[in-house]
Chains A and B, each alone.
Chain A
Amino acid sequence: MTIDTEALGADLLQQVNDAAELSALEDIRIAALGKKGAITAEMKKLGGLDPEARKAAGQALNQIKDAVAKAIEARKSDLETAALDAKLAGERIDVSLPIRPEKSGRLHPISQTFDEIVAIFGEMGFAVAEGPDIEDDFHNFSALNIPANHPARQMQDTFYLKEPDETGENAVVLRTHTSPVQVRTMEAGNLPIRIIAPGRTYRSDSDITHTPMFHQVEGLVIDKKTHFGHLKGCLQEFCSAYFEVDDVPLQFRPSYFPFTEPSAEVDIGCTRKGGELTIGHGDDWLEILGCGMVHPKVLKMSGIDPDEYQGFAFGMGIERIAMLKYGIPDLRTFFEADVRWLKHYGFVPLEAASLVRGLTP
């Protein structure tokens, strides 16, 4: 008896390649390789052959069996891939559709500016001090060398919760500047002092460039050696760092504040070419802050000996420097909470301002 292994093999491989579906392929596998399959059946016949022929036929059958098994695997993989492709083709989505609605929050420019101020003065060793918005007239005026009836009290339009009595004192006010925090810090008496005090301030004034509430940051240094040159250096370094302009030009103009002497107003260099304001080296000046050496009377009133201690103070408007740095045109918009404005001028909240990482996100 002979076995036409070649024909069997060719037939089975043809069937495998013709299988159009996985189920058909499985049927072919069973029909070829199963217990009752064609190859198995041929194998069973081998016992009737003489040893030589059995060996040859056996090898041939084994080869066919391997070839068919391999072909089935290959065909199976092809069919599976095709099936998956077909399935995925049906799962197509329109990836141009928008993402699910998400809200994207922003920090207010005042918070960002405040963080930047803290980052810079922090590097110079200033701690952050705070005080109440509602102040007595002692801390807001008298302790700052602004006695009742002093013309400087008329320089500031004060909001009163309680108006002064006949003596002109004992009033309760909304602080007109952050300077009362200076007084409270000095009263606490932990010398030397190096603080900034940012916060809300109030003046009864409302027009294009004034709002009844705004923010200031106050700075105070008290020790035994800090002089007017240090004041200039400190503010020069702050302004260069904050505006991110190397050696930004500053002009210190002699001025008057009751609580400092000498006093200065500080202008920063800028240009207004083409109607656009740019901070930096230019032909124009813009006032940005007031400062001076702390008045000896102010030291004395807070219990500090002016013969031993001295130092400087400064104050600047946070909105003002934010407007200048970030090109925000209108002060009043800071307080309108218009979501379009907040989204546009606000800041992503990812990291705190830092001189070493970069001030502005």
Chain B
Amino acid sequence: MKFTLSWLKDHLETDASLEEITGALTSIGLELEGVEDAAAQLEPFTICYVREAKQHPNADRLRVCMVETGTGEVVQVVCGAPNARTGMKGVFAPSGSHIPGTGVDLKPGVLRGEESNGMLCSEREMGLSDDHDGIIDLPDDAPLGESFATYMGLDDPVIEIGVTPNRGDALGVRGIARDLAAKGLGTLKPLNAPKVEGSYDSPISWARADEVGDDCPFVTGRHFRNVKNGPSPAWMQQRLMAIGLRPISALVDITNYVTFDLGRPLHVFDAAKVKSDTLVMRPCKGGETILALDGKEYTMEAGMTAIMDGDTVDGIGGVMGGELSGCTEETTEVFLEVALFDPIRVAATGRRLGINSDARFRFERGLDPDSVEWGPDVAARMVLELCGGETSRLTSAGTKPDNRISVSMRPERLKSFGGCDISAADAETILSKLGFETTVEDGAIQATTPTWRNDIEHEHCLIEEVLRIHGFDKVPALSLERETALPQPILSLAQRRVAFSKKVLAGRGLLEAVTWSFMPRAEAEHFGGGSDEMMLANPISADLDAMRPSILPNLLSAAARNADRGQPDAGLFEVGPAYRDMSPKGQDMVAAGIRVGQAVPRNWEGAVRPVDAFDAKADVMAVLDACGAPVDRFQVSTDAPGWYHPGRSGCLRLGPNVIAYFGEIHPGTVRRSGLKGRAAGFEIFMDRIPQPKSKKGGGKSRVLLKISPYQPLTRDFAFMVDADVQADKLSRAAMGADKQLVVAAEVFDVYEGAELDGRKSVAIAVTLQPKDATLTDKEIEAVSGKIVANVEKQTGGSLRG
């Protein structure tokens, strides 16, 4: 919402400075968005008199001018404009001025031997237009020495504020003035709306179809005849231009002016172009078309409110008028529309048709219903003043709704809810300045809302009004009371595990990424998602249209981008959501990571090693360990999903529950992401990590550590097993052979060769830890036998001789 300072002062009697006003606007919730003070920019420019303009002795196209500036001095200026002439009035800029149109700072100079101490300016140099045909040529009566900005009426600062959607009343200058008056910046002047009596009956009447109901509860208007439409007066044009509107003609300008001045959109029909004697507010059936004032044709949908002239749609209720019945320079008879429309209907209609108009903007935020009382008089006063002619009596249809309500406020709530000590009397004063009618009953302020405030509903709305005007800055800041002397734990185990996982993965050299929750559908489909349900109806772009079923594709494409930027060996992780379905429980917390390229890059000492499944497995195990998961109880299965390498990937499970996938990424998947070389990755389903068993009584004490005083000993065993037997099966079998004595069984060698004919050799180092006494040879012999027997039994293999 834009307005000028002088416009504001039409409604506000005030001595406040521009700075005081702009500061107050923000403090009362009408946020200042900008001030354009053209006068400040044009300050150096004054009206001058060219006493003499003679030909430059050394340049055909230049003139040497003796310029009276109004301060008594005469300055010599060399000027190239063809229209510079003796006896003219122009605009002078002294040396030292900044020329806004060219960005040049004027310096005294000598042009072809003649001194020049300033400039006679063109409109382009003033930043006013592109006109550079000559210097500004002012009328003879222009006052010598006066500020050019003042003379041209450009010294009216333009103020722009942001108006929140609840404050339709502040979309008119008068509403802003009222708020400022309540804040104490002056007095609101009375509304200039003397009753205008009509002298004849309007030949056109307003009517409402019953079906229109509350979509248009009331419409009124009047007829004008013998008007003369032409340009509106300079003051009106200046104000409209200052707020970015193009002056069109007096009649149209009046409707625009009242829209911004009083927040009351009006519409004027050229009465000669209205075919019927009655205009009707009616809901559309759908399919009707209208050529609107913006020159575009719109097709109405069922239920939209139309202004009907017989079978013709002559206007879109609350949104835009029709072009065919619009006023032109030739208009002599006018029919005025002052209507009330339903905000929701107007908003929906405007949105469906894609029309953003100043009328829609106001109607959808709610209008002062009383504006149908003064609206026709304000309009009549201005039309008669600017265009002459005479006006009819009013024609109306419907009933003006009464939107006033009575709201009660307990003054003590200003303190207990608003946090501020404000007396009941001060609160009442603020409310009455805002237009509420107040009384005090049983210690509570009873406030009847003004018609222009649709947003006031309850006690807290009044508290807000009082607080807003009183000043949020006057509310003392208080610390929240603490419920406990010391802070309490506030994170759930799941939340802490997310934090742990990030720290572990970053500690292992991976960089944490945060990537979009959406991705291209083709990628989502490749990773098991992309169902119709999980597609965005209105994606920001076609490649961000599917909710991600997995984080990996985003990390892979990020790695590819990094590779393109010369960073080929990215290690990235993200801990965040992956989406299964649209239900509240259809979202998993997943820790995913990838390592691409070389795990050990080229270095001076040793060989490079590309990333592999065990890099990913190590990341997974580290996260699970940090999360307190029973890492030694996990089983590995080889049924990871299709985006992993079928032979180089696995699932970590606890029974049927898959906790994580890990492995080399399928080379096909890697390629489609645009990466070259190898990638390994993992996905850990954080919510599936089992909760630790809670201790009795909730204590944190550990199981007592018992360290055996006896030396542990290690025995190596090598077994021949079928090549598809998983190595960890041997370890488990060895561990299971004697749960007391065997404390570790680590695979330390695997050999597969063609000569082994589909079998492989796996060597394990088994650690025995005696607890009560050193083991005898016989006991060692016995446990070794049990280990061999159990491994052979469990794996179908045999001890290598």
Query: Which residues from chain A sit less than 8 Å from chain B, CB to CB?
Result: 97-98, 100-108, 110-111, 115, 118, 121-128, 130-135, 149, 151-152, 154-155, 159-163, 172, 174, 194, 200, 202, 204-206, 212-213, 221, 225-234, 236-237, 251-256, 261-265, 293, 295-296, 310, 334-340, 342-343, 346, 348-350, 352
Check B199 for interface membership: any CB of A closer than 8 A: no
Cα-based distance from A228 to B476 in the complex (angstroms) = 9
- Pairs A-B, 6 closest by C-beta atoms: A103-B509, A229-B419, A254-B29, A256-B164, A105-B506, A337-B558
Question: Are the CB atoms of B348 and A149 closer together than 8 Å?
Answer: yes
Smallest beta-carbon distance A250→chain B, Å: 8
> Which residues of chain A are within 8 angstroms of B640 by Cβ–Cβ distance?
none
B514 touches A256 (CB 8 A): no
B224 close to A (CB within 8 Å): no
* 8 additional contacts (CB under 8 A) given A108-B512, A110-B514, A212-B544: A97-B605, A103-B510, A104-B509, A231-B419, A232-B478, A261-B464, A263-B464, A340-B567
Per a CB cutoff under 8 Å, which of A98, A162, A350 touches B582? A162
Cβ–Cβ < 8 Å partners of B541 in chain A: 206
Known: A105-B512, A107-B512, A128-B495. A255 touches B164 (CB 8 A): yes
Instruction: Give the Cβ gap from A192 to chain B, nearest Cβ, in Å.
Output: 8
A356 to chain B, nearest CB (A): 10
Binary per-residue interface labels of chain B (428-460) against chain A in the complex, 1 for a CB within 8 Å, 0 otherwise: 000000000000000000000000000000101
A161-B537, A228-B417 known; A349 and B605 CB under 8 Å?
A: no
CB distance from B681 to the nearest CB of A (A): 14
Instruction: Kindly specify which of B85-93, B215-223, B232-240, B480-488 makes contact with the partner chain.
Output: B480-488
A-B contact pairs, 24 of them (CB 8 A): A105-B507, A105-B508, A105-B510, A124-B487, A128-B495, A132-B586, A134-B587, A172-B582, A212-B518, A213-B518, A225-B481, A227-B418, A229-B420, A252-B472, A253-B27, A262-B418, A262-B460, A263-B464, A310-B417, A339-B511, A339-B570, A342-B572, A346-B512, A352-B499
Q: How far is the CA of A251 from the CA of B32 in the complex (A)?
A: 14
Rounded to whole Å, the gap between the CB of B493 and the closest CB of chain A is: 12
A151 to B364, CA, bound (A): 8
**Interface flag for B323 (CB, 8 Å):** no
Contact B571 A105 (CB under 8 A): yes
**A161 partner, pick from B481, B505, B582, beta carbons under 8 A:** B582
The answer, yes or no, to whether B475 is at the interface (CB within 8 Å) is yes
**Contact between chains at A339 and B567 (CB < 8 Å):** yes
Q: Please tell me if the beta carbons of B502 and A349 are within 8 angstroms of each other in the complex.
A: yes
Residue B399 at the chain A interface, CB threshold 8 Å: no
Q: Which residues of B contact A225 (CB under 8 A)?
A: 416, 481
Bound-state Cα–Cα, A46 to B306, Å: 145
Give complex CA distance A154, B343 in Å: 14
Residues in chain A near residue B516, CB distance under 8 A: 212-213, 335
8 Å CB contact of B517 from A155, A213, A231, A234:
A213
CA distance A115 to B515 in the complex (A): 19
**Among the listed A108, A154, A160, A263, which residue makes an inter-chain contact with B351, where contact means beta carbons less than 8 Å apart?**
A154
B40 within 8 Å of A (CB atoms): no
Stretch at the interface among B313-321, B528-536, B724-732: B528-536
- Complex Cα distance, B243 from A162, in Å, reads 40
Give the Cβ gap from A75 to chain B, nearest Cβ, in Å.
Answer: 40
B540, A204: Cβ atoms closer than 8 Å: yes
Q: Which of A108, A152, A339 contacts B514 (CB 8 A)?
A: A108
Partner of A228, one of B418, B503, B567: B418
Complex: A202 Cα to B547 Cα, angstroms? 12
A-side binding surface: helix, strand, loop or mixed? mixed
- Proximity bits, B319-357, A CB within 8 Å = 1, else 0: 000000000000000000000000110011001000000
**Docked-complex contact B420 and A124, CB < 8 angstroms:** no
The A-contacting residues of B in range 101-137, CB under 8 angstroms, are none
Query: Knowing A232-B477, A261-B461, A262-B418 touch, does A132 contact B584 (C-beta < 8 A)?
Result: yes
Tell which of B475, B513, B536 touches A337, judged by Cβ atoms closer than 8 Å: B513
Chain B contacts of A254 at CB under 8 A? 27-29, 464, 467-468, 472
Q: Closest CB of chain B to A158's CB: distance in Å? A: 8
Name the residue in B26, B512, B544, B565 with the highest tally of chain A Cβ atoms < 10 Å from its Cβ: B512
What is the CB-to-nearest-CB distance from A61 to chain B, in angstroms, rounded to a whole number?
A: 50
Q: Which residue from chain A places its CB closest to the CB of B415 in the assembled complex?
A: A227
Bound Cα distance A234, B572 (Å): 37
Contact B418 A160 (CB under 8 A): no
B708 within 8 A of A: no
Q: A125, A174, A339, A349: which contacts B480 (Cβ < 8 A)?
A: A125
Nearest A residue (CB) for B416 = A227
Contact B511 A106 (CB under 8 A): yes
List B contacts of A263 (CB < 8 A).
464
Nearest A residue to B345 via CB reads A149
Q: Which of B29, B167, B351, B473 has the most CB of A within 10 A?
A: B29
Give the shortest distance, in Å, between A107 (CB) and chain B (any CB): 5
Does the CB pair B577–A133 fall under 8 Å? Answer: yes
The answer to whether residues A337 and B562 also contact, given A107-B503, A152-B165, A159-B538 and a CB cut-off of 8 A, is yes
Residues in A with CB closer than 8 Å to B571 are 103, 105
Beta-carbon nearest neighbor of B366 in chain A: A151
Tell me how far the C-beta of B503 lies from the nearest C-beta in chain A, rounded to whole angstroms.
4
Complex CA distance for A255 and B163, rounded to whole angstroms: 9
Determine whether the beta carbon of B562 is less than 8 Å from that of A338. Answer: yes
Q: What are the residues of chain B within 8 A of A130 when measuring CB–CB?
A: 495
B774 at interface, CB cutoff 8 A:
no
With A118-B490, A262-B468, A310-B417 already in contact, the answer to whether A106 and B536 are too (CB < 8 A) is: no
* B519–chain A nearest beta-carbon distance, Å: 12
Nearest Cβ in chain B — how far from A214, in angstroms? 10
A73 to B256, CA, bound (A): 114
B539 within 8 A of A: yes
Given the known inter-chain contacts A204-B538, A256-B167, please indicate yes or no for A230 contacting B480, CB distance below 8 A: yes
Complex: A251 Cα to B29 Cα, angstroms = 12
Please give, as numbers and ranges, the residues of chain B lying within 8 Å of A264 by CB-CB distance.
472
Chain B 517-555, CB within 8 Å of chain A: the 1/0 string? 110000000000000011111111100100100000011
Task: Give the residue name and chain of the B residue nearest to A287 (CB).
Answer: B31
Partner of A336, one of B473, B499, B561: B561
CB distance from A144 to the nearest CB of B (A): 14
CB distance from B411 to the nearest CB of A (A): 14
Q: Which among B167, B420, B473, B477 has the greatest number of chain A C-beta atoms within 10 A? A: B477
CB of B436, distance to nearest CB on chain A (Å): 16
Q: Which residues of A contact B475 (CB under 8 A)?
A: 228-229, 232, 252
A342 touching B464 by the CB < 8 A rule?
Answer: no
B488 nearest CB neighbor, chain A only: A125
Chain A residue at smallest Cβ distance from B601: A101
> Which chain B positions have C-beta within 8 A of A227?
415-419
User: Measured between C-beta atoms, what is the minimum distance from B566 to chain A in Å?
Assistant: 9
Whether B503 lies near A349 (C-beta < 8 A) is yes
| B513 with A128: CB separation less than 8 A | no
Also in contact, A339 and B572, with CB within 8 A (given A204-B540, A213-B517, A296-B458): yes
- Residue of B415, B417, B487, B558 near A125 (CB, 8 A) is B487
Complex CA–CA separation, A100 to B415 (angstroms) = 66
